[in-house]
Amino acid sequence: MASSSLQEIREKVETLEKELIVLRSVLEVLQDPVFILGPRKAFLKANTRGEEMLGYTWKELQEMVFLDLIDLEEISRVQDGFDVLKGHPEARLKTRVVTRWGEKIPVEMIGHSIGEVFLILLRDLREATRFEEACKKKSKELTEKIRERDQYARELQAMKDLYKEKIKEIEAMREEALLLSLVDDLTGIYNHRFFIRQLGLEIGRRKRYPAPLSLLMIDVDYFKNYNDTNGHLAGDQVLKATALLIQRAVRETDIVARYGGEEFAAILINAGKEKAMEIGERVRRSVAETHFPNEHLQPNGNFTVSVGVATFSPPFSSLEDLLREADNALYRAKRGGRNRIDG
C-alpha cells in the first residue's frame, strides 16, 4: 500500500513538472511581460520579458509583491482592479509601473483570475504615449496658428481614434492651412494671389477649349471719404458686407476675390459680354439698394460701387490684356459719374 502511494506521488510530481515546463515555454514565447501572482500578489512566475522591463531578476522579484512595482499614485486603482477580478474572469486598466531605476512606464494591465491565482499581462504604452503627445502638440500648434491669422478658421475636429485616424486628420489640417493661405483675412473671400492664379488657369483653358470668359472689376465709390468720416472699423465692416453682396449677386460657379483695398474682382465662367453686363448690373444694383450706416454722408448720398466689364476675346491674348481692359472699363464708369457699369 505504501509502495503504491509513493508511486502515485512520483507520478503527480512528474505531471506537475511537465506542466511547469509547458507553462514556462508558453510564458517565454509571449512578447509582453507576463506574471503569475499568488493570493497576496506575490510573484509565482515571471517571463524574461517581464524581468527585462522591470529591471529585476527573478530572484529579486520573489522577494517582492506586485504592488511594490506600481506607482504610488496608482496603487489604489490597481487594488480596485484586483478586487474586480475576484468576481470577474478578466479586468483591464491603464496604470504605471516603476522599474528598479525609478522610470515610470505607462502600461495597460490585463488581468485574468483562476481562483486565488492571477495571470497579469502588461502592454508597454510608452511608444503609443509619445506618439499621442506628439500628435496633440502638432494639432495645438496648427490650431493656434490658424486662429491667430484668420477669424474664419475652423476648429480642428478632435481626434476620436488616434491610432486609426492620425494620417487622415493630419492631411485635413494641411488642406485647411492651404485653403486659408488663399483667403482674404478681412472679407473671407479669395485673395489677390488666388485670383491671379485662377484667372491664369481659366484663360489657359479658353485657349485650348474655346468658351466664354468674362471679368468684373468692382470698386467702392468714395471709399476714402467713408473711411475718413466713419473710421477704419466701420470701413472694414462695409468691405465685408460688400464682399457678401457681390457673392450673392454672381452665380455659384463664378469666383469672387478681393483684388486690393476697396477693389474686388469676379471671374465669370462661361459668360459672354451680354451675360457679364447683366451680372455686373446685378452687383451694382444690389449694393446701391442696400442700406449702409451713414451712407447719406457720401458725396453722392449713397453707398455704391462702379463696375468695369471685360470679355476674353480677340484681340486679347493674355491675362494682362483682360485685366487692362477691365480696368479701363472701370475707369470709364468712374469718370462717367460712378454707381455705373461700363464694358
Q: Which of 262, 278, 281, 320 is catalytic?
A: 262
256: cell is 469672387
How far is it, in rounded angstroms, from Cα 305 to Cα 222?
9
SS3 content of the chain, % helix, strand, coil (to 5): 50, 20, 25
Report yes or no: 276 and 269 within 8 Å, Cβ to Cβ. Answer: no
**CA gap 98, 101 in Å, rounded:** 8
d(CA 153, CA 168): 19
The verdict on whether 155 is a catalytic residue reads no
How long a stretch of residues is the chain? 343
Sign of CA dihedral 17, 22, 27, 31: positive
Give the Cα separation of 49 and 30 in Å (integer).
Answer: 8
**338 DSSP 8-state letter:** S
What is the β-pairing status of strands 34-37 and 263-269? unpaired
d(CA 4, CA 211): 105
- Phi/psi at 40 (5° precision): -95, 20
> Catalytic residue positions?
262
